[in-house]
Structure 1
Amino acid sequence: MSDSFIAIDWGSTNLRAWRYEHGECVDSVQSEAGVTRLEGRSPRQVFTELMARWQEPLPVVMAGMVGSNAGWLQVPYLPCPTRLTQVAKRLTEVKQVLPLKAWIVPGICVERADNCNVMRGEETQLIGAYAELPATLYVMPGTHSKWVQMEGDTLVDFRTVMTGELHHLLLNHSLIGVGLTEQRPDPQAFTQGLEAGLDEEHLVCRLFETRAAHVLGKLEKSAVSDWLSGLLIGNEVAQMQRKYPLPTGAALTVIGNPKLGERYAQALNLAGIRHRMLDGDRAFQSGIRSIVNELED
């Protein structure tokens, strides 16, 4: 199976799949059939429809929210600290699709008095990222950003920051978004927001200023989204820099969508934090290949 298989990243809102034959990606598909957007279908039905795209069946390895209590099968978490090499040893087989071979990758959790956290899907990206760009700290931007602390190949701790979701909620379901015009990109407003977020220890004190600034004409109504995005990302970076300080001269690795990653890169540059970038899809596919290779051993 090591060179021919199907990899699936099945999250809450999207599903992405890649078909590998003899080590080469020969086809891929992306849809909005995430586990929260099945439109009355079961995960098994969506899976069957996807497999019908390819006449010749191959073994399938899936990761993400498909293994959550809202997904297909609830796959147990591996507790921190955990070595990345242990993930491949704890896959859960999906027996409803026999004779086709399919497995779901486990998530990872932290369960302590000072930190309760879970991840699903990111562990697969981390496996691929560690193989390509080893680091003591990884940043995974997104709706729920992850900051992951490593010791060698062992994941020892991580935190989740709801920056993306908070931006959406504030802009669309709070007073901040009332009376706005169509939002347009505004790099200057974004940078100003970053600077404010990086300098503020208590973010709650600055949120209402987002509304006050555009009401008083100090901020263009069309630039509120970019200002708020900068404020939130800047403050996230400032808080996590204090939580997970890097050793002198070390660089963290940012894993994710290049467009969103660039926003974080701007914040990291302003904060004086060295960093490297890695595309999230590349990291995921590399991680799945490592898991598949472990299955063969």
Structure 2
Amino acid sequence: MTSGTPPRDGAIIAVDWGTTNRRAYRIAADGSIGDHLRDDRGVLAMAAADYPPALAALRERLGDLPVIAAGMIGSTRGWHEAPYVSAPADLPALAAAALRIEAAGLTIVPGVSLLTDTRADVMRGEELQVLGAIAAGLAPADAVFCQPGTHNKWIVTEAARIVDVATVMTGELFALLKGHGILAGMLDGVVTDGPAFRAGIARGAGATDLGTALFEVRASVLLGHRAPDEAAAYASGVLIGSDVGARAIDGRTVHLLAEGALADLYKVAIEARGGVTVAVDATAAFLGGVHHLRGYLGL
């Protein structure tokens, strides 16, 4: 395909092109989903020369269609950098700043940045899920979102615009502690909800001495206060408790844009701190975002 001109049936290909994984979907003009795929062809597995044949392979599978791609493909590690849109940002703002590569029939969705006198933050991919959840009626226009992952995201929207984002390296910190340093070898147990995890939440929430709280994982095991197989759950609770405890969520609804074990742990922590959780299907949110964005893009 040599242009971004949509075919008569108005279908497109939507790609969530992440760091390690890639998800691609055929979306019809009415928003219904056709064939789709998921693989490990994230940007870390790609060189610049790999993208044209990768797009050709997607079209061979899903149809000779225009492609809208979001996520890390637009980062400095991706194929072509799509500059961030400054918050507050909505779907029209994303469409206006989208990077069009006409020769490839590709549109790359920009990420969203936040820069104040005291904080700086960025995101790529999450913005389309959040705004898509609102556009698809999965969340209200004024909402708090939490997207657990290696780098957990807290996103606040007002009037269907992203106005704030905070990224927390919770998952990465746990992985680093597990693999390196004095806690290495002590965090191999299964992390599940239970007394140890909830004790960790209580310790981490509001802690101004996170480093001390984490060293207590080792000390409590050495002194027989905590069973060795509880250390991982307790340490995870400390980290997630610290993350959740830093948010003003008491009595508020938090929309969880995730599923699986980590989302379940965040649900426990959020509710332990007085929040109310609502699960949002992240895939449906992404697809809703692309479907509504295409209208602003004219595809």
Sort the TM-score into its range (normalised by shorter chain): 0.7 to 0.9
Q: Deviations over 1:244-280 (max 9, x none)?
A: x57xx64221212343222111011110112311021
Q: Secondary structure at the match of 2:38?
A: strand
Q: Deviations over 1:75-111 (max 9, x none)?
A: 01111222333212221112342xxx21000111112
Q: Which residue of 1 aligns with 2:116?
A: 112
Shift of 1:236: 0.3
Question: TM-score scaled by structure 2?
Answer: 0.87
User: In the superposition, relative to structure 1, how do residues 190 and 3 fare at CA in structure 2: closer, same or farther (>3 Å)?
Assistant: farther
Q: Which residue of 2 aligns with 1:150?
A: 157
Q: Which residue of 2 aligns with 1:286?
A: 288
User: Are the equivalent residues in 1 in contact too, given 2:12–2:66 (CA < 8 A)?
Assistant: yes
Q: Which residue of 1 aligns with 2:131?
A: 127
Q: 1:39 & 1:214 partners in 2: Cα distance?
A: 45
Q: 1:172 & 1:67 partners in 2: Cα distance?
A: 30
Q: 2:208 & 2:238 partners in 1: Cα distance?
A: 12
Counterpart pick for 2:193 among 170, 187, 207: 187
User: In the superposition, relative to structure 1, how do residues 18 and 288 fare at CA in structure 2: closer, same or farther (>3 Å)?
Assistant: same
Shift of 1:40: 9.0
Counterpart pick for 1:31 among 36, 39, 53: 39
Q: Secondary structure at the match of 1:256?
A: coil
Question: TM-score scaled by structure 1?
Answer: 0.88
Q: Which residue of 2 aligns with 1:269?
A: 271
* Structure 2 residue ranges without an equivalent (≥5): 1-5
Q: 2:152 & 2:272 partners in 1: Cα distance?
A: 19
Shift of 1:164: 0.8
User: Is 1:233–2:240 an aligned residue pair?
Assistant: yes
Counterpart pick for 1:254 among 256, 270, 273: 256
Report the residue type matching 2:151 in the other structure: H
* Structure 1 residue ranges without an equivalent (≥5): none
Counterpart pick for 1:165 among 168, 172, 178: 172
User: In the superposition, relative to structure 1, how do residues 289 and 264 fare at CA in structure 2: closer, same or farther (>3 Å)?
Assistant: same
User: In the superposition, relative to structure 1, how do residues 154 and 184 fare at CA in structure 2: closer, same or farther (>3 Å)?
Assistant: closer
Q: Which residue of 1 aligns with 2:53?
A: 45
Report the residue type matching 2:261 in the other structure: K
User: Are the equivalent residues in 1 in contact too, given 2:193–2:265 (CA < 8 A)?
Assistant: no
User: Are the equivalent residues in 2 in contact too, given 1:258–1:279 (CA < 8 A)?
Assistant: no
Q: 1:40 & 1:69 partners in 2: Cα distance?
A: 11
User: Are the equivalent residues in 1 in contact too, given 2:91–2:293 (CA < 8 A)?
Assistant: no
Q: Which residue of 2 aligns with 1:102?
A: 106
User: Are the equivalent residues in 2 in contact too, given 1:65–1:120 (CA < 8 A)?
Assistant: yes
How many matched pairs?
Answer: 287
Q: CA RMSD in A?
A: 2.3
Report the residue type matching 1:231 in the other structure: V
User: Are the equivalent residues in 2 in contact too, given 1:9–1:15 (CA < 8 A)?
Assistant: yes
Report the residue type matching 2:52 in the other structure: R
User: In the superposition, relative to structure 1, how do residues 187 and 259 fare at CA in structure 2: closer, same or farther (>3 Å)?
Assistant: closer
